[in-house]
Structure 1
Amino acid sequence: MHAHEEQQTGVRRPPLRRPSSPADARSAAADLSASPTSILSLQRSAGNAAVTRALSGQSGGLPVQRVTGAPVQRVRDDEYPDGTYGRRGKDRKYLEDEYDLDMGGSNFQVEHAHGYASTARRAPRSRKSNTRHEGEILAYHETLRAHRDHPGTGSSLKRRTTGLNSRDYRDRQEEYLLDDDPFSSLELNQLEYNPLPSFHAASGSREAEAADTSFRRSIKANPRTPIYDRNGERRYTRSLRPGEQAQLDIGRTSMRERREVPHAERVRVLREEYGGSRFDEYPTRSRGAADGDELTEFFRRPPREGELSAQGAQEARENSVQAGLRPRPRRPGPEAQPEPVRRRPRLRAAEQAGQEQGTRAVRAGLLRRAAEAEQEQRARLVRPGRLLQQQTVRRS
C-alpha cells in the first residue's frame, strides 16, 4: 500500500515487523486463509521472504529452490576477436566514419558468415544464454536486401537458385566446419550471394563498398571459429591460410564486378594483402623440384629417349635385347642431361617383358624335351604278342 492508498482509507499502516523465528512465520501463515487480503496482511507483518518460505511448506526456514536455465554470459565487446559478431559495434563505427553512412538495421544487417545453427547444433545451452559462442563467430555487415534474400537467413525450406534451402545450407556448413575446413564454409556463404539480384543491384554504391570492406576486414582478422563437435564438446577450427584468404577476397571482387580477375591481380592480392606465396599452400605438404607436375601424366607415358642418361639408355637397350625387343635407334645430337627417376618405369616394363618371354621359352623347351622322352620310351616298349610274331617269321 502506497501513500495515496493511506490517504484514501484514512488508516495508517503499521511498520513492517519481521518474525523472530521461522516458527512464528509458519504459525502466522497457518492462521490466515489463502485469500488475497490475508496474504497481503501476512506480507506486511512477516515480510516477503518469510511468507515465501511459509507458503512453500519448507521447514527450518530454507530458501525456495527454483530450477532456472543457464545464466546468460556477459562478455564485453573488447574481449572478442576482431572480425567476429561480438565486435560488430566496433566494425559499425569504423564503417560509419569511413563512408559516412547509417549502418543501422534499416540499411545493413550483420551476416553470420558461419551460421549459428551450423556451429551450435549440439550445444548444451540455448542461443540466448550462449552469447560468448555466438560472439566469436566470424561476421560482417551486409546490405539489408541481400542479407534477407540469402538462404542462410531465416528457416525457409524453399530451394533457391543453387538448389539449397536453409536446412541444406546449414547442414553443409556444419559438415565443412566439423572437417576443420572453414574456407569451404565461407566460400559457400559467399557463393550463395552471387545469384541474388538484390546483391548485384547494390553494386557501384557506397553501401556495397562498405559491405565489401567489412567482409575483407573480417577475412584479414582471420578469427578461429568455435563449433560443438559430434560429442557436444566445444572446440575451434583452424585459421584460414593466406591462399584461402586471397581466394575469398578475389571471389568477392569477381562477384561484385562480374568479371574474371586477371592472374597478375590475383597474385598481387595474395602477396600484398595477405603475405602469401601460393594459392594452394598447405603447411603439411613438402616442396620439391617436381612441384606443379601432374603425377598421373608422369606414370601414364613412358619417358622419352632424351630423358635418359647415357648409362640409363645403355641399360635400357641391353634389357631390350635380352627381352627380344628391337631397340629404338638413337637420334643424333648431344646427350641429354640425366633424369634418373624418370627411367624407372621403362626399365621396369622391359624387365617384365624379358621375364615373361624367358618364362615362355623355358616352358616351351621343357615341353619339347618331355615329348622327345616320351617318344623314346614308346620306341623301347615292345608288346609280347608282336615279339612272338617276329620270332615265328624268322624261324620259318
Structure 2
Amino acid sequence: MNLKRVVVTGLGALTPIGNNVTEFWNGLMNGVSGAAPITYFDASNFKTQFACELKGFNVEDFIDRKEARKMDRYTQYAMVTATEAMEDANFNLEKLNLDRAGVIWGSGIGGLQTFQDEVTNFNQGNGVPKFNPFFIPKMIADIAGGLISMKFGLRGPNFTTVSACASSTNAIIDAFNYIRLGMADVIVTGGSEAAVTIAGIGGFNAMHALSTRNDDPTTASRPMDKDREGFVLGEGAGALVLEEYEHAVARGAKIYCEIGGGGMSADAHHITAPHPEGLGAKNVMLNCLRDAGLQPTDVDGVNMHGTSTPLGDIAESKAILEVFGEHAYTMNLNSTKSMTGHLLGATGAVEAISCVLALQHGIIPPTINHFTDDENIDPKLNFTFNKPQKRDVKVLMSNTFGFGGHNACVLVKKIEN
C-alpha cells in the first residue's frame, strides 16, 4: 500500500504554564511549575489542596460570553487551542476541500464540571428534575470535536477517542492513519480536559493517586525522584493540525515536522497499576518503531509518561531499557508533567507539541523537581534533570499510558524533503 506522508502544520496550546504555544514553550524552557493551591473551590478539607490550574485565562477573551456558557470548560479549552492551531496553519478555508478536512479529538472524561453541577443542583432541590437544557450537550465527551468542526465548517471524519490518559495520543494516531490512508487531507487533532473539580480531586484522592504535598506544591510533581508520591492533576488542551505532505507543500504551508509513526498496546494487567515489568510500555514503543520503520538507535529521546507515581516511573524506565538497550544511555529522557502536571486526556497532545517544539529548537525540556535518585531506577539514564539540554534532535517519541492499561506512543521526526 502506498501510504501518504503526514506533517504538522499548526499548533495550539493552553496549559498551566502558558496560555498559548509560545508561552508554553517559554514555561518549559524556564522550568516553571504550574502547581499551586486550588482556586476553583474550597479544597481545605481535601487530602490534596493544590493542582495545576490555568493562570490568567479568561474565556471571554476568546469566546463570546453567551456561547461560552453553553460549553463545559473542557470544550472551551478545545475551542481556544483548535483556533490557535488553525490560525497557525493559515488555511484559506474558501480553497480548502472541507469534505476532506476533519476533527479527531480526545478527552478522558469530558464535561465533569457540568455533570457535577447538574447533579448537585438536583440534590439540593426538592426532587423535581429541573435540568439545564444544555446539560447533555455540555457534558458529552464528543461535543468539543463537533463544535470545532462547526466553527470551521470541517465536514470530514469527526469523532472523539476516550482511552483515559492516552486519549489525545490515540486521537493523533487516528488522525495520522486517516490521512496516510488517503481518507482525509487535513485533520485538527488533540485533546482537552478540565477535571480540576470537587469530583476530580475527590475521586483521585480516594484512589490514592494524587500527591498530597500540600506544604510544597510547586515541587510535588517529581518524576523519577525517590520521594515522589503521586501525580499532580492538571488541566488544559493541545491541538495539532495534521496535513498530507503534498497538500501542505502545494499551498506553501509552514511545516513543523513529520509524524513518523504511532503505536498502541494494552497492559491487560490491572485497572490502575501498570504492568510491573513495563510489558505494555515496552510493546507500545516497539509497535511505534515498527510502524515508523525505524530502529531504536534512530531515536534521540523520549518524553516519558512520567507521572511521578511510585510504580509507574519504575515500570516505564524498565521498558525503555528493554526497548533501547545500551542506546538508552545516549538518549535524552524527560517528563514535562513535572511542570504541567497530568492533564489526563489532554496530556498526549500537549506532550506531542513539546516534542515538535524540541525538534524545531534543538533543545530538550527538563524534568524539574529532582532531588534524590531512586535506587530502583538506573542512574545512568539521562532524565534531563532540572535544566533543558541542547541537542541536535531528529526523532523523538512521546509516551502516554492510561488507567485500564491503555498505552499509546507517537513518533515525530524532522522533515526530509
Name the TM tier (shorter chain): under 0.3
- Higher strand residue share: 2
Normalised to the residue count of structure 1, the TM-score between the two structures is: 0.28
Q: Could you say which structure has the greater relative contact order, defined with CA pairs below 8 angstroms and 6 or more residues apart?
A: 2
User: Quick check: which has more Rg, 1 or 2?
Assistant: 1
Normalised to the residue count of structure 2, the TM-score between the two structures is: 0.27
- Higher helix residue share: 1
